[in-house]
A and B are shown apart, each in its own frame.
Chain A
Amino acid sequence: MIKQFADVIFRWYCHPDYYPDIQGDLEELYTGHLKNKEQFPQLKYCVDVLLLFRPALIRPILNNTNSNNIAMFQNYLKISLRTLARHKMFTTINVVGLAIGLTSFLLINEYIRFEQSYDSFHQDADQLHRVSYLVLNENGQVMDKDAMASYLTGNVLKKELPEVLNYTVSKKFDQISIRSGQNIFQETGIISADSNFLKLFTYQVIHGSKETMFNEPWSVVMTQSRAKAYFGDINPVGETIQVLMPYKAELKVTGVIEDVPDNTHYKFDMLLSDKSLKDGDDYENWDYNNYYVYLRLADNTNLKAFEAKANEVFLKFEDDGRSKLDVHSVQDIYLKSDFTFEPQPLGSEKVINFLIIISIFILIVAWVNYINLSTAIALERAKEVGLRKVVGAFKHQLVIQFLCEAFIINLIGGVVAFFAAELLLPFFNQLIGKTIILHAWSHLPLVYNLIVFFLIGTLISGFYPALVLSGFKPIAVLKGKFQNSKSGIITRKALVVFQFSVSLILIAGTVIVYKQLHFMQTADIGISVDKVIHVQIPDSEAETEEEYEAFLSRFDSFKENLRNHAAIAAVGGTSNLPGGNASDINSTTTRTRILGFTERMGGTVYIQYNDDSFLEAIGMKLIAGRDFDKEMKSDSAAIMVNESYLKRFNLPDPDEIIGETLQFGETEDKGKRTIIGVVKDYNRTTLKSQVEPTIYMPWMNADALVIKFNNTQALEFVEEEWGQFFPDVPFDYGFLTERFAKLYVQEERFGNTFLVFAGLAVIIALLGLYGLASFISLQRSKEVGVRKVLGASQVQIIYIFYTYFFKLIGVAALIGIPLVYFLMNSWLDNYAYRINFPWIISFSSLIVVGVLAFLTVAYQTSKVARLDAANILRNE
C-alpha cells in the first residue's frame, strides 16, 4: 500500500524517460529485500523514492506538454520587455502612476480596515450591546440621545429578560489624582468595573484572578503599561496607591491586564472595582444616567424585538415618558453612534466613505492612464499586429500578448507599491495620527489586497487596449491606411474627462475641507479666550468642617491676590472649562418649566456651574439681567439661562423672564430657582454641535480657574502665588486657545489626508495627460506640417491643441461641479455651524485644473508647433 503510493508519487515527479528502468531497479531491490527477509522493505522503498527526488531525475517543469505555447509566452515576454524599454516615457508614467495608485489604495484601505475593526476583537463581539437613553420631549419625539444609562438598567434587564446572558455597568471618571510613593499621577483613564466586565470584554489577565479581582471595594486593576509606570517590572498585585480625588482612599492593586488596544470605543488605563462607588455616585437612582451599560445577549437575538421588550421592562420603573432605551451593537458605536456623552471621541463613517471613494478614484485614475496611453501608442503597434496576423496569429493570442504587457507593467507597479507602502508607513501613521500597522510585509490583509488588486488592475487596464490592438485589420494596417478608430477616440476622450473630473472634485474638496476648518478655528464663538489660562485647583484634603473652611478661605485669598495684580484682568471659576469635548458638561433630563410662562418641557437641559467672575474672565455677554453676585445671599438660588434655552422652549423676549421662577421636576414646591440673567450663546466645544440649552448655576468655589491676562507677564506672578498657596501641587496650566485648537485635530487630520491623496491623484492624472499630449502631438505632426505649409502660424497650431484639451475640461466641469456640490455639501451638513457651499471655490478649482493642464500640455504642443514642416513632410 505504502509502496504503491510512493510509486504514484515517483511516477509523478520522475522524468518520463527515466521512469521505467529506475522503477524496475527499485522493484528488483524490493524483491531482493523481501527474499533476504530484511526489515521494513516498504519503508526502504519509500526512502529510495524520496532520495530519487533530484534535479537530474525530475520531470522538467517547463515544456512538458505543449512546448509551442511556452515558446510563445517566452516570445510575448521578450517583445513586451522590448516594447516597454523602447517606450521609456510610457513605461515610466504607467509604473509611477500604478505604484502611487496602489500604494495609496493599500494604505488607505488598511486605515479603513482599522477604523472598521473597532471592538470586533472581543470574543462575543457580535452579541455585545450597549443600552443607552433616548430623551423624549412631551410629544414622545426623540430630542436627545444620551450614551449613558442608569446603573440599575443592567441589573433589571438581566433579571427580567432571559436573552440577557450577562451584563456589566461601568462609570468613567474624570481626572483622578493618584499618589504612589513620591509621585503624583493625573489619571484620566479610570473607569469602574464589576466582576463581569472582563467576561464581556476580552482582555488578557496577566496577574491576579479574573474571578476575585473586583470583589473588594478599593481594588484597582491596571493595564500593563500603567503598572509599569507605577511599579516598574515587578508583579504589583498587593501593592497600594493613594487616591487624592474625588475619593480619599487607599487602593489595592489586585490585578494587571494587557494594554487596551487602540481600536475600542471604551479605552481605559485602570479599572476600579465598582464596590468602591459611593452614595454620591447614585447607583440606585433611575435618574442618574452616568453609567455605560453593556449586555451580552444570547446568540441570534433579534435586536429590534429585544429593544421593544427592554422598553416594556423599562416602563415598569420609569413611566413618566421622559425617556426610553436604545440597544445597539458595540461594534457600531465607533463609526455610527450619534449619541452625546460618549466616553471618547468617535470616528466618522462619512470620513471613511470619503476615503474609500478617494482610494478607488486614485486607483482608477492610474488604470485609466494605462488604458489611454496604450491605446494612444496603438498606431506604432499596428504594424506589429498586422504582421503577426498575417503569419497566422489568432486574435485571442494577440489579446493574451497585450494582457501580458499589462501584467508586466502592473507587476512592476505592484512591487514598487509594496516597497513604497513599507517605506511610507511611518509617514502615513503620522498623517492619520494612529499606528495602524507596523510593517506592510507582515500584514497579511495588505499583501492579499495587493495581489487581488494587482490582478484586477491587470485585467481592467489590460483588457480594453488588448481588444483594441488585437482588432486591427491586417490589410488596412499593412497598406499604411490605418487610422485610430472613432469609438477608440471617444473612449479616450471620455477617460480624460473622467480624470479631469476626479482632479476637479478632489481639488475643490480639499479646499472646502480646509475652508470649513479655517472657519471653525477662527469663527466668533461668542467668548474671548485670548490670553486666558486655565488651572485646576487641587481638592481639599480637609477632614473637618474647620479645615474645609480654612481651605476655602485660602482659595479665596489666592483668587484675591491674583485679582489685585495689575496684569490680571479677571479670575473666574467653573465646573466645565470651555474648549472641552462634547461630553464635558453636566446635564439633566428632568423637565423644567418657567412658572406662569410654560408647561413642563422635556428634553435634555445642560448645566454648568460658574462663580461670579467667570463671565467676565472669558468675555461671555449678558443680553438681559445681571451676573451672579457673591455678596447677595439670595443668589444661591439664582440661575442664568442661555439664548438657546429660550429658543428651544419658545420662550418670550429675554427681558420678560428676568426675575421669573424656573422649576425643576414634578414636585410642586421643590426645585424653584430665580432667573437673574440671560447670556448670549457661546460655543463651549466644537462647531460641529449646536449650542445646547444650558442653565448656569452659581458655585462660588468652582475649582477650574480661568485667568484672563492683560499681558502674559502675569504668568510668572501666578506661578509664584501658586507656589505660595499650593506648594505640594505642580502648577499645571494651559491656554484656553490651545484647548480649542485641539478640538479640531480630527478635522485637521482629515484635511491633511484629503490633501495628500488628492495631490497624488492629481499628479497621476497630470502624468497621464503629459504622456497623452506627447503621443497625440506626435501623431498629429503630419497634420501640423500640412497646416504650416498652408500658412498656419505657431499660435494657431497651439490653439488647435489647446481647444482639444479645454473642450474636455469643459465637459469635466459639467460633471465635476455638481458632484462636488453633492459630496461636499453633505459633508458640510455634519457641522452645526458650517460655511455656505463655496461655488467660487468650485470654479476656481476648475481654473486650477485648467492651468495645470495648460502647463502639462504646454511643452509638447509648443514643441510640435515649432517643428519644421519640411522635416515632417519629407518622409511622405
Chain B
Amino acid sequence: MKRYQLGEFEEIVLLTVGVLYDEAYGVAIKGEIESRLKRKVSVGAMQSALRRMEKKGFIDSRLGEVNKLRGGKPKRYFTITAYGRDALQHSQDVRLSLWNDIPGVALDL
C-alpha cells in the first residue's frame, strides 16, 4: 500500500486549502482554520506545514497579484494536487473503515 504521510495538522491545513479553493493563501487559510476550529494558528506552524506538503507534492502553489495592503508583496495561492486529493481520500477511508468497524455497543456510553 502506498503510504501517505499526513499529520493531523497537515490534514486540517490541506482540507482548508480545499475549502477555500481559489482563495487559499496564507492569511485566508489561517483565518479559516481559526474561525472553524476555534483555535489559534501561528504563521510559522502553518507555513512550514504548507511548504512541507508542497515538497511532498500534496499541494501546488502559484504567485498572485501584488497588493498594496501587503507592503507590495504578492500572495501565494495553494491548490490541492491529485496526489493530495488521494492522500485526503486515503486518510478519510482509513478513518471511515475504523469508524464503521466499531461495534455499536462500544459507543453506547
Contact = CB atoms under 8 A, between A and B. Distances in A.
B102 interface: no
A188 to B, nearest CB: 69
A16 to B, nearest CB: 13
Contacts of A25: 25-27, 30, 43, 47, 70, 75
A21 B71 CA distance: 10
Interface in B43-73: 43-45, 47-49, 51-52, 55, 63, 67, 69-71, 73
Given A48-B44, A51-B45, A57-B44, A24 B51 contact: no
Nearest to A48: B43
Interface string A20-37: 111111111101100000
B47 A57 contact: yes
Given A24-B75, A28-B27, A18 B69 contact: no
B71 A23 contact: yes
A contacts with B: majority SS: helix
Contact of B71 (A27, A48, A54, A55): A27
B73 A24 contact: yes
Q: Which of A15, A25, A50, A52 has the most CB of B within 10 A?
A: A25
B55 to A, nearest CB: 8
Nearest to B66: A24
Nearest to A23: B73
A26 B51 contact: no
Q: How large is the interface on A (under 10, 10 to 19, 20 to 34, 35 or more residues)?
A: 20 to 34
A21 B42 contact: no
A30 to B, nearest CB: 9
A46 to B, nearest CB: 12
A52 B51 contact: no
A444 interface: no
A490 interface: no
A33 B88 CA distance: 33
A48 B73 contact: no
Contacts of B90: none
A25 B47 CA distance: 10
Given A21-B63, A28-B27, A31-B69, A52 B47 contact: yes
Contacts of B76: 21
A51 B44 contact: yes
A57 B76 CA distance: 15
B73 A53 contact: no
B51 A56 contact: yes
Given A24-B67, A25-B26, A56-B48, A51 B73 contact: no
A47 B45 CA distance: 12
A29 B43 contact: yes
B95 to A, nearest CB: 26
Contacts of B55: 56
Q: Which of A22, A29, A50 has the most CB of B within 10 A?
A: A22
B47 A28 contact: no
Nearest to B76: A21
Nearest to A29: B27
Nearest to B26: A25
B79 to A, nearest CB: 15
B44 A21 contact: no
Contact of A24 (B42, B44, B45, B70): B70
A519 to B, nearest CB: 78
Contacts of A22: 26, 43, 47
B18 to A, nearest CB: 19
Given A48-B42, A48-B44, A57-B44, A28 B51 contact: no
Contacts of B73: 20-21, 23-24, 27
A50 B42 CA distance: 10
Given A31-B69, A57-B51, A52 B43 contact: yes
B52 A24 contact: no
Contacts of B63: 20-21
Contacts of B69: 27-28, 31
A52 B44 contact: yes
B19 to A, nearest CB: 18
Nearest to A55: B48
A57 B45 CA distance: 10
Contacts of A29: 27, 30, 43
Q: Which of B25, B47, B74 has the most CB of A within 10 A?
A: B47
Contacts of B47: 18, 22, 25, 52, 54, 56-57
B35 to A, nearest CB: 13
Nearest to A24: B73
Contacts of B48: 52, 54-57
Contacts of B25: 21, 25
B93 to A, nearest CB: 27
Contacts of A32: 27
Given A24-B67, A27-B71, A28-B69, A51 B43 contact: yes
Contacts of B71: 23-24, 27
A15 B55 CA distance: 14
A28 B72 CA distance: 10
Contacts of B27: 25, 28-29, 32
Nearest to A14: B47
B51 A21 contact: no
Q: Which of A23, A27, A55 has the most CB of B within 10 A?
A: A27
Contacts of A23: 71, 73
A27 B74 CA distance: 11
Nearest to A53: B44
A54 B44 contact: yes
Contacts of A27: 69-71, 73
B46 to A, nearest CB: 9
A385 B26 CA distance: 54
B43 A56 contact: no
A788 B8 CA distance: 79
Q: Which 7 A-B pairs have the closest CB atoms?
A: A24-B73, A51-B44, A25-B26, A21-B76, A56-B48, A24-B70, A52-B44
8 contacts: A18-B47, A18-B51, A21-B25, A24-B26, A24-B73, A51-B42, A51-B44, A54-B44
Given A25-B70, A52-B47, 18 more contacts: A21-B25, A21-B74, A21-B75, A24-B26, A24-B70, A24-B74, A25-B25, A25-B43, A25-B47, A27-B69, A29-B43, A48-B44, A51-B44, A56-B51, A56-B52, A57-B44, A57-B47, A57-B51
